[in-house]
Amino acid sequence: MEQNTTSMPLTSDLPIKKQTVCIFGTGDFGRSLGQKMMQCGYSIVFGSRNPQNSKMIPQGATVLSHVEAAETSDIIIVAINRLYYDFLERLKETLHGKVLVDISNNPKMNQYPEANAEYLARLLPESKVVKAFNTVSAWALQSGALDASRQVFVCGNDSKSKERVMDIVRSLGLTPLDKGSLLAAKEIEDYPLQLFPMWKYSIYMSLGLSIVLFIYCIIREVVYNSVVNNKDYSFFIIIRIPNRICPVVALILLALVYLPGIFAAVLQLYRGTKYRRFPDWLDKWMLCRKQLGLVALAYAFVHVLYTLVIPLRYYVTWKRNSYVLQQAFNNKTDPFDTVNGWISDSYLAMGILGFSLFVLLGITSLPSVSNSVNWREFRFVQSYLGYLTLVLCTAHTLLYGGKRFLLASYPWGLPAVYIFSLIIPCIVLVMKFILIFPCLDRPLTAIRQGWERKPKDLYEPHSNLGKSSV
């Protein structure tokens, strides 16, 4: 938020020293960038094939031919399509030694084998190509509505040129981020095309699970009651059934966060080394654990809210009132059942503690928090507290079942959904419990510290770095 403001006085006070920057191309982004730069005190010269007919350029800017424009400035922003880069080869002489800022993107990822900026650097080896600005939106530059990231990724092989471009970025009120040499250009060009690539698996999986369980619950609770008992419980689909599904999906996803770690441990024990790559599916699974966990947290959050509004629901208060009235009419009071008191309180308490720890895990996965803890602390939170969360949430579900196991009715033989949610967590917890035994834990720790099972001649005396390599 402060960035918005801090950039405002800047823009109004800059026009003291006028630096001339040349922009090749009068397309949308070129014009937007030019206008923004003029507002920040630069004088802009556009280079165009047809300087006479380029009427759309921002007021106050000059339009010249490409050669003339290039001669006015040391820095040339190349705002033209990659397809026309070869045309720049003809200006080789003029562009010799100058800083070329490549701001282009491609419509698709991996469209060309080579990044646009690398291609430009290959065409004009005597110029200093810097990649920048491609992650900024023209619309955002125009409207000033830079609510999103103000980070501008910059890369280039010549550090002086990079520094100059980063100064321009800063003077526009944006934050430059040095990404190293031109080798990073490919990555920078693909960046703005992404749409949550790491989240897809987790979101699809949770949605799929939700839909399947939703249909199952409708059959078991709505259709069954409608067909067999002739009761209309269709309004269950709004809160009661979602509130059965959310905790189930949350618990399954949480268990799936820890399952790949179990697989990895088993695989390493079996192979006797950590220096062989995991199968591809396991690698991918391990990389999206954070996303799985956060989606699980979202489901748990909705579950908590759904549960807390229970006493506000008309159906629930009506049912409670009927229950009291029935006792009043029958002139008797149901006695207090201590076991019920224990179970009811325990399952709520497990749920509360599990959810609180889960929220803590979620907070530590915020980028700024996880950046401020070291590896050991991160492991402590995500591994120890994570398993504690899983234990608490599984216990919560088991105790919830505890209340119902005996009086369970299986409409059409269908068990309640919460039973499904217990399968994977129990497998994970049992496996983890087994892996904790010293006979398995000791070799696993050794493997993870670099030991390999097949004996080899190791004369290297200085191989132990005293590094906690878990």
Q: What share of the chain is helix, strand, coil (3-state, %, to 5)?
A: 60, 10, 30
Q: Which is nearer to its own copies, 212 or 369 (CB)?
A: 369
Gap between the Cα atoms of 95 and 75, Å rounded: 9
Assign residue 465 a region: left if phi > 0, alpha if psi is -120 to 50, beta otherwise? Answer: alpha
Provide φ and ψ at 67, rounded to 5°.
-65, -50
Least distance from its own copies to the Cβ atom of residue 413, Å: 28
Residue of the chain from 190, 251, 361, 393 that contacts its own copies (CB under 8 A): 190
Tokens of 357: 């720890």
Our finding on whether 223 is near its own copies (CB under 8 A) is: no
Q: And the tokens for 345?
A: 């309180």
Q: Report if residue 9 touches its own copies, rule: CB under 8 A.
A: yes
With contacts defined by CB under 8 A, name the span among 82-90, 216-224, 406-414, 425-433 that binds its own copies.
82-90
Region 385-404 residues binding its own copies, contact defined as CB under 8 A: none
Environment class of 10 (CB within 10 Å of its CB; exposed 0-12, middle 13-18, buried 19+)? middle
Q: Which residue in the set 44, 61, 80, 249 belongs to the binding site for its own copies (CB under 8 A)?
A: 80
d(Cα 387, Cα 394) in Å, to the nearest integer? 10
130 binds its own copies (CB under 8 A): no
The count of residues in the chain is: 470
Q: Quote the least distance from Cβ 72 to its own copies, whole Å.
A: 19
Residue written as tokens 């006792």? 327
200 or 415: CB nearest its own copies: 200
Return d(Cα 210, Cα 243) in angstroms, integer: 11
Q: Could you say whether residue 171 binds its own copies (CB under 8 A)?
A: yes
- Determine the interface stretch with its own copies among 141-149, 387-395, 418-426, 432-440 (rule: CB under 8 A): 141-149
Nearer to its own copies, 97 or 376 (CB): 376
Q: Of the ranges 209-217, 345-353, 390-398, 418-426, which one interacts with its own copies (CB under 8 A)?
A: 345-353
280 near its own copies, rule: CB under 8 A: no
**Using the rule CB under 8 A, is 307 a contact of its own copies?**
yes
For residue 279, the one-letter residue type is P
- Asked if 378 touches its own copies (CB under 8 A), the answer is yes
Residue 255: count other Cβ atoms within 10 Å of its Cβ: 24
69-77, 312-320, 423-431, 433-441 -> range binding its own copies (CB under 8 A) = 312-320
Cα separation of 301 and 285, whole Å? 23
Strand residues in 312-351 grouped as ranges (E): none
384 binds its own copies per the rule CB under 8 A? no
What distance in Å separates the CA atoms of residue 263 and residue 280, rounded to the nearest whole number?
A: 13
Q: Which helix (H) or strand (E) holds 93?
A: helix 92-95
Q: Which window, 209-217, 318-326, 407-415, 429-437, contacts its own copies (CB under 8 A)?
A: 318-326
Write out the binding residues for its own copies, residues 420-449 only, by CB under 8 A.
Answer: 448-449
Q: Which two tokens stand for residue 109?
A: 């990822």
Phi, then psi, of 78 in degrees rounded to 5: -95, 95
Among 10, 219, 391, 426, binds its own copies (CB under 8 A): 10
Q: Which C-beta is closer to its own copies: that of 225 or that of 420? A: 225
* CA dist., res. 187 & res. 175, Å (int): 18
Which residues does 97 contact at the CB level (< 8 Å), separation at least 6? 126, 127, 128
| 213-221, 352-360, 406-414, 423-431 -> range binding its own copies (CB under 8 A) | 352-360
| Range 147-166, binding its own copies (CB under 8 A) | 147-151, 159, 163, 166
Residues 199-218 that bind its own copies (CB under 8 A): 199
Candidates 68, 71, 74, 452; binder of its own copies (CB under 8 A) is 452
From 182-190, 209-217, 387-395, 409-417, give the range in contact with its own copies by CB under 8 A: 182-190
Give the orientation angle of helix 280-287 with respect to helix 242-271, to 10 degrees: 130
Q: How far is CA 149 from each of CA 3, 130, 140, 185, 207, rounded to the nearest angstrom? A: 10, 20, 10, 19, 29
Amino acid at 42: Y
Taking CB under 8 A as the criterion, the residue among 73, 127, 134, 394 binding its own copies is: 134
Give min distance, CB of 90 to its own copies, in A.
14
Q: Which of 18, 56, 90, 423 binds its own copies (CB under 8 A)?
A: 56
Size of the site for its own copies (CB under 8 A): 183
Positions 238 through 277 that interact with its own copies (CB under 8 A): 238-240, 242, 264, 274-275
**Region from 211-219, 363-371, 417-425, 431-439 binding its own copies, contact rule CB under 8 A:** 363-371
* Residue 367 sits in the site that holds its own copies (CB under 8 A): yes
Closest CA to 136 of 95, 180, 79, 85: 79
Q: For the residues of 317-385, what is the DSSP string, one character each?
A: HHHHHHHHHHHHHHT--PPP-HHHHHHHHHHHHHHHHHHHHHHHHHHHTSHHHHTTS-HHHHHIIIIII
Min dist. Cβ of residue 423 to its own copies (A):
25
| DSSP symbols for 126-148 | TSEEEE-STTS-HHHHHH----S
36 is an interface residue for its own copies by CB under 8 A: no
User: Quick check: 321 binds its own copies (CB under 8 A)?
Assistant: yes
Of the residues 372, 405, 415, 430, which one makes contact with its own copies according to CB under 8 A: 372
DSSP E strands in 415-462: the ranges are none
